[in-house]
Amino acid sequence: MEYEKDYLTGLWTRQALYAYYHGLALGSRIHFMFLDVDNFKIVNDIYGHNQGDALLVNIAGILQKSAPMARAVRMGGDEFVLVFPREVSREELCAMAGRIIERVRSKEGAEQILTNVSMSIGILYDEEVGDTLEETLLKSDMAMYHAKDNGKGRYVVFNDIAELVLGELEMEKRQQQALENREFEVRYVPIVMAQTPRLHMAQAYLVWNMPDGRCKGQEEFLPLFIKNGFAAELNAWVIEKVLQDIAVFRGAKERPDRVAVRISRLQLMNGSLLSWLESMMRRYKVKAEELELEIEESAFSTRGKEEMFANIEALHKCGFHISFTGVGLDFGSLRYWDMLPIDTLKFQREYMRHAFSSHKGRRIMKTLMAVGRELKMDIVADGVSSREDIMYLIECGCNAVGGDYFSKPMNVEDFLEYVRTNLRTEMRVTEFPFWTDYAAVDGAMRAVPSGVGVHLTEGISANWGGVLFDGGDVRHNVLELPPELLASDSYTVCMWIKPLELNGWSSVLYARYNNGFMSMVPYSPDHSTVYRVHQDNFVAQFHDILVRMVQRNKWSFLCVTFDAFTCVGRLYLNGRLAGEAEDVPQLPACKQILLGGDPFQKSFRGYVSGLVFCDSVMTETEIGDIYNDFCKDPGFVGDREEFWIEGDMRDSE
């Protein structure tokens, strides 16, 4: 019959295959291969359809030569099927599949085509003949697509992945019903600052509570939903649920300032995304800065980038935080790090496990994180399971971490309870009164004196004691403070100092970091007071803020701030901004803090009082208020420095 032969290749047609299958005895056994030519469309586009047809004819010949006992079928386009009798073993099937793949890859008989061409094959072994062919074709077709999804140019045996594939089929069939039945649940993972137990944000995590009692995490079903286009509808539901939960978070004293939630590629390609989000935000009275939109790194491997880029730019301008999540999956986002307004990079747990397994992997990860920091992005590591990993990530410049080391994903109530009992959420201010000992007010931090020339004494006011440093050789007579005081990337440090001696470049405060140092220097040889930041790998480069020099035998109020987001450092003198610098390097992982000296110069000789550390950047107004409050303290022994302001000058006129 005419329909039995394909007009181009001479192989059986789809109709002939169906007729053959229905002629087999029910219950008999048979083997199938489903084959698809990888990159065939590219061949057609570059070389034209004549060359594409010639390639198909050539491949048909390869199939007949490699599997002479099989019935070869062209299903249509670049898809083929091979049907084998029961007598062929599994080993023989796999060997034939390997030969076909190798011959197609080498372009046997089609050497004029330079494009990479390969064959993905799905094998169905020892299948029972049933009433219809569709299920048999579907199984072998699924195996073929698994081969494609795992790199192309390979074969996959359906029998090996049957449980996985059938589970995916079940999920696909039930996805819409599961959403309608509210079987999905949003839980939250705490993302914690790497160096201090402070909550950085909450991260939404989706689970599927199936009717049979199984609970699947999002990594088990989201890739499938993304592939079949259901992720956009599901993500829209998740975003609305997160907005509802933010209202619950607001009722708690200890709560996250921001919640991260995924947004799908299809949503980013939707021109009405921004208007939909804004309407949802108005409905639930949520501000844009309370939400971080996570974009899967793999979202950029497909077409539609122009629409996605436009939406990302618009979302960021409206105040939404934008992050790339799953970094390390294939590094598909790397080329866009400098093109898009990305606030955060979130490294994938599987990538980090791989990176931690070798020295080279660790170095590559450290370099990638350093690039992100140079681009002023936060670096988040997901899936951390040990303190040792966290310590290395801190050295890499990682801001925050999440994973089983802290907690599994939790519902809203459990999340808030975990935060309340284990983490901090507010700006932390640590004061050292220096009255009867060297402990901070809250008792959590304590300075340790080194040398006999460190004395507790009276300070700037009746409310504050002080420390008298006798000075001396390098690192003699100093106080060592806990490095956790500067665990946050951004910081504010304030203190009153009264130098008894001005030694060139002696530090009153010194902080050693993983790759550099910060110091506050009351006196430099050019008669300036200096805030200095230095990176080890730039030996001759110092980032200095120089202001008028403090006076000997007189109390002065010094304050420095560093903003890790803008990389701006500021130095305040007596409550007023005296100098600032841009492009100050961000130094990760504080290792040591010394008060009264440093490892290079003679130690500081004089008094220190009113020492305050803050793990955020205080504003000029806040620092001015602190200065004025000191000046109003009972027993204040300093000289309040008055400043002319425009209003006073106008009044005098």
* Per-residue confidence (pLDDT) for residue 303, from 0 to 100: 65
Helix-strand-coil percent breakdown of the chain, rounded to 5? 35, 30, 35
Q: CA separation (Å) from 406 to 42, 217, 397, 449, 589?
A: 48, 17, 20, 34, 20
| pLDDT band at residue 36 under the 50/70/90 scheme | very high
State how far the Cα of 283 lies from the Cα of 380, in Å rounded to an integer. 30
* Per-residue confidence (pLDDT) for residue 345, from 0 to 100: 93
Q: Does residue 118 carry a pLDDT above 60?
A: yes
| pLDDT band at residue 643 under the 50/70/90 scheme | low
* Per-residue confidence (pLDDT) for residue 302, from 0 to 100: 59
* Per-residue confidence (pLDDT) for residue 293, from 0 to 100: 96
Q: Does residue 467 carry a pLDDT above 80?
A: yes
Q: Does residue 111 carry a pLDDT above 80?
A: no
What's the average model confidence in pLDDT over 110-133? 86
The count of residues in the chain is: 653
545 sits in which H/E element = strand 542-548
What's the average model confidence in pLDDT over 58-64? 92
* Per-residue confidence (pLDDT) for residue 648, from 0 to 100: 39
Residue 464 bridge partners (DSSP) = 461
Q: What percent of the chain has pLDDT over 90?
A: 51
* Per-residue confidence (pLDDT) for residue 595, from 0 to 100: 97
Q: Does residue 75 carry a pLDDT above 90?
A: yes
* Per-residue confidence (pLDDT) for residue 334, from 0 to 100: 84
Q: Does residue 652 carry a pLDDT above 50?
A: no
| pLDDT band at residue 598 under the 50/70/90 scheme | very high
* Per-residue confidence (pLDDT) for residue 644, from 0 to 100: 42
State how far the Cα of 417 lies from the Cα of 414, in Å rounded to an integer. 5
The alpha carbon of residue 601 and the mean position of all alpha carbons in its chain are separated, in whole angstroms, by 40
- Which tokens sit at 306? 């122009």
State how far the Cα of 270 lies from the Cα of 458, in Å rounded to an integer. 66
The dihedral through the CA atoms of 495, 499, 505, 511 has a sign that is negative
User: Lowest-pLDDT range, 85-89, 201-205, 387-391, 467-471?
Assistant: 387-391
**Cα angle: 44, vertex 50, 51; to 5 degrees:** 60
What's the average model confidence in pLDDT over 171-178? 77
pLDDT in tens, 188-232: 999 988 766 778 899 999 998 988 888 888 888 887 777 777 888
pLDDT in tens, 317-326: 999 999 999 8
* Per-residue confidence (pLDDT) for residue 396, from 0 to 100: 84
What's the average model confidence in pLDDT over 467-481? 95
Residues 493 and 430 sit within 8 Å (Cβ to Cβ): no
State how far the Cα of 71 lies from the Cα of 61, in Å rounded to an integer. 13
* Per-residue confidence (pLDDT) for residue 3, from 0 to 100: 56
pLDDT in tens, 431-452: 999 999 999 998 889 999 999 9
**Structure-model confidence comparison of residues 376 and 312, the more confident one:** 312
Q: Does residue 343 carry a pLDDT above 70?
A: yes
* Per-residue confidence (pLDDT) for residue 653, from 0 to 100: 32
Start-end of H helices in 107-157: 134-149
* Per-residue confidence (pLDDT) for residue 252, from 0 to 100: 86
* Per-residue confidence (pLDDT) for residue 651, from 0 to 100: 36
User: At a CB cut-off of 8 Å and minimum separation 6, what does 573 contact?
Assistant: 529, 547, 548, 550, 556, 557, 558, 559
Q: Does residue 645 carry a pLDDT above 80?
A: no
What's the average model confidence in pLDDT over 237-259? 91
* Per-residue confidence (pLDDT) for residue 647, from 0 to 100: 39
Per the prediction, the chain carries an average pLDDT of 88
pLDDT in tens, 574-596: 999 999 898 898 888 899 999 99
